[in-house]
């Protein structure tokens, strides 16, 4: 049985309850996890507070940074082991899991080396006054992590928090938390003081809800569904704590008639089938200028039909989706699209020999979507791409913005003025011009607008999000 990490020790839930962990590849149980309740969360929050009041809180920024860098090195030293754990837990192809673990190490390296580089200010004020603005940690930070990229999301959330001197309690998703528990063990091995980084496993509505409502926390970082994001924001309001929310997207590619199709097509395919479409930043809507729509879709369909889903060991384009409910949800969207008269123009395939009970979904490309259909509006979180033609720049912008979400966008054109106009007009947190997806892109500020959430992660801005300022005003006159 896997244990969780509280106050520097591997522990079971206090009441001994467990959860089964199922393999997405064949649906079989392969280990169990502690099913933490409020009492376990209390222990973890108390341990984090203890660390802040103890050895962890006394460390200098340089010392914290060195520990984070050491953790990054340890992740690299255990790269293959962590990749195997990640791919077993999520079903993702081994090479995808390996890339994810490399990104995880980068988060610790990047924020480790940033720990002593966030400096304060002095402000000229009235005669005989000295004013300093110093940066302070927020305190105990809660991190509720999704299952799609467990290792990466854990690094993205906890590394900047730890770098700024906060203590962390992470609650990974019930569907995928094994790599996170292992990294918390490695953190202890490299010398993190007990309680600085705790991992509580369990169900969202139990452990996650208890953590997000806990009066002992000072900050919540959450990545996940819109529905749960609303609950998290309500919980944050109860204790008047800040939260950073990343709630997914319905990101659009806009392809103009002068686009370099040889660049665009592979990026569009990868942008929706990577990780079986279970990516917040998936490019799940495709808008193509009318004049090139038929030939573009034909070329795209040729590429799309080459996509294959298989087991992690087969290491194909994508694996299964993470669990039965996700499998049913994606298939429901596909069936709905068909029932509404949308046309499938290409399908990928599922490799021969995958287990019958695995959660494999056929990657599907739809054409002629209606802008008010669920396929065009809802985040499916599967390898399903919907497309539609547009007339001109104004209509492209209008369609791209015609969704509740606002996470990413991409514009494909050789016209420089148009690149800037469209990039500025689409309501999202990140825009690509002639490219898509940054494969981690940990240096680049990231986050959404509209229903995609608020607050920023990645880059230096995360160090600011995960700390606060104190202004010290001193009179030194005679």
Residues that bind ligand ADP (CB under 6 A): 144-146, 171, 173-174, 204-205, 208-209, 212, 224-225, 228, 231-232
Q: Which is nearer to ligand ADP, 208 or 447 (CB)?
A: 208
Known catalytic residue at 313: no
If the CB atoms of residues 113 and 225 are measured against ligand ADP, the closer one turns out to be 225
Phi, psi (deg, nearest 5) at residue 283:
-85, 90
Within 10 A of 348 (CB to CB), how many other CB atoms are there? 21
**Closest residue to ligand ADP, based on beta-carbon distance:** 204
- Please give the angle made by the CA atoms of 450, 92 and 385, to the nearest 5 degrees: 45
Q: What is the DSSP letter of 318?
A: B
* Lookup result for tokens 């709905």: 336
26: left (phi over 0), alpha (psi -120 to 50) or beta: alpha
Q: State the Cα–Cα distance between residues 115 and 183, nearest whole angstrom.
A: 20
Q: Tell me the β-bridge partners of 34.
A: 18
Min separation Cβ 46 and ligand ADP, Å: 19
| Residue 363 and residue 316 in contact, taking contact as beta carbons nearer than 8 Å | no
Minimum distance between the CB of residue 152 and ligand ADP, rounded to whole angstroms? 14
Please enumerate in sequence order all residues whose Cβ is within 8 A of that of 239, keeping only pairs 6 or more positions apart, or say none: 213, 214, 215, 217
∠ CA 149-153-155, rounded to 5°: 125
Select from 214, 165, 162, 164 the least CA-distant residue to 184: 162
Residue 177: how many CB atoms within 10 A of its CB? Answer: 27
What value does the CA radius of gyration of the chain take, rounded to a whole number of Å? 23
* Distance from the Cα of residue 183 to its chain's centroid: 17
Q: Of 233 and 415, which CB lies nearer to ligand ADP in the complex structure?
A: 233
Which residue, among 112, 41, 279, 84, has the nearest Cα to 179 in the 3D structure? 84
Helices 61-77 and 178-190, axial angle in degrees (round to 10):
130
At 206, list the tokens.
Answer: 């139990």
Instruction: Report the nearest approach of ligand ADP to the CB of residue 135 (Å).
Output: 28
Shortest Cβ 240–ligand ADP spacing (Å):
18
Residue-wise burial string across 264-303, b where 16 or more C-beta atoms lie within 10 A, e elsewhere: bbebbbbbbbbbbbbbbbbbbbbbbbeebbeebbeebbee
Choose, from 86, 246, 393, 465, the residue flagged as catalytic: 246
Q: Which residues are catalytic?
A: 246
């Amino acid at each position: 049985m896997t244990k969780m990490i509280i106050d520097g020790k591997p522990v079971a839930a206090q009441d001994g309850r467990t959860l089964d962990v199922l393999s997405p590849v064949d649906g079989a149980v392969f280990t169990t996890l502690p099913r933490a309740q409020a009492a376990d969360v209390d222990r973890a929050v108390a341990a984090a507070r203890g660390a802040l009041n103890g050895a962890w809180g006394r460390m200098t920024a340089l010392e914290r940074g060195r520990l984070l860098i050491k953790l990054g090195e340890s992740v690299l030293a255990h790269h293959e082991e962590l990749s195997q754990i990640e791919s077993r837990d999520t079903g993702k192809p081994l090479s995808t899991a390996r890339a994810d673990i490399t990104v995880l190490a980068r988060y610790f390296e990047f924020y480790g080396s940033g720990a002593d580089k966030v400096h304060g200010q002095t402000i000229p004020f009235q005669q005989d006054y000295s004013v300093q603005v110093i940066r302070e940690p927020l305190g105990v930070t809660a991190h509720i992590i999704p299952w799609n990229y467990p290792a990466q999301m854990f690094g993205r959330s906890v590394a900047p928090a730890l770098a700024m001197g906060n203590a962390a309690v992470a609650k990974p998703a019930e569907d995928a938390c094994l790599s996170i528990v292992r990294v918390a063990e490695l953190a202890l091995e490299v010398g993190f003081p007990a309680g600085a980084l705790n991992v509580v496993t369990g169900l969202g509505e139990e452990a996650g809800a208890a953590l997000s409502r806990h009066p002992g926390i000072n900050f919540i970082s959450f990545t996940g569904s819109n529905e749960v994001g609303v609950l998290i924001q309500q919980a944050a309001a109860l204790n008047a704590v800040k939260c950073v929310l990343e709630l997914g997207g319905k990101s659009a590619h806009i392809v103009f008639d002068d686009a370099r199709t040889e660049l665009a097509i592979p990026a569009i395919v990868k942008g929706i089938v990577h990780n079986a479409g279970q990516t917040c930043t998936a490019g799940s809507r495709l808008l193509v200028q009318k004049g090139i729509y038929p030939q573009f879709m034909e070329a795209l369909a040729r590429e799309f039909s080459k996509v294959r889903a298989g087991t992690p060991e087969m290491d194909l384009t994508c694996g299964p989706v993470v669990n039965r409910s996700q499998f049913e949800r994606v298939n429901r969207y596909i069936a709905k699209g068909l029932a509404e008269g949308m046309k499938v123009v290409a399908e990928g395939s599922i490799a021969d020999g995958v287990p019958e009970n695995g959660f494999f979904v056929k990657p599907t490309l739809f054409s002629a979507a209606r802008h008010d259909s669920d396929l065009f509006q809802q985040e499916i979180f599967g390898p399903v791409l919907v497309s539609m033609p547009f007339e001109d720049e104004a209509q492209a912008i209008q369609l791209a913005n015609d969704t509740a979400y606002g996470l990413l966008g991409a514009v494909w054109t050789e016209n420089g003025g148009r690149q800037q106009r469209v990039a500025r007009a689409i309501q999202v947190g990140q825009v690509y011009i002639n490219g898509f997806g940054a494969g981690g892109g940990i240096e680049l500020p990231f986050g959404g607008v509209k229903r995609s959430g608020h607050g920023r992660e990645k880059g230096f801005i995360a160090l600011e999000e995960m700390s606060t300022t104190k202004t010290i005003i001193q009179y030194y006159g005679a």
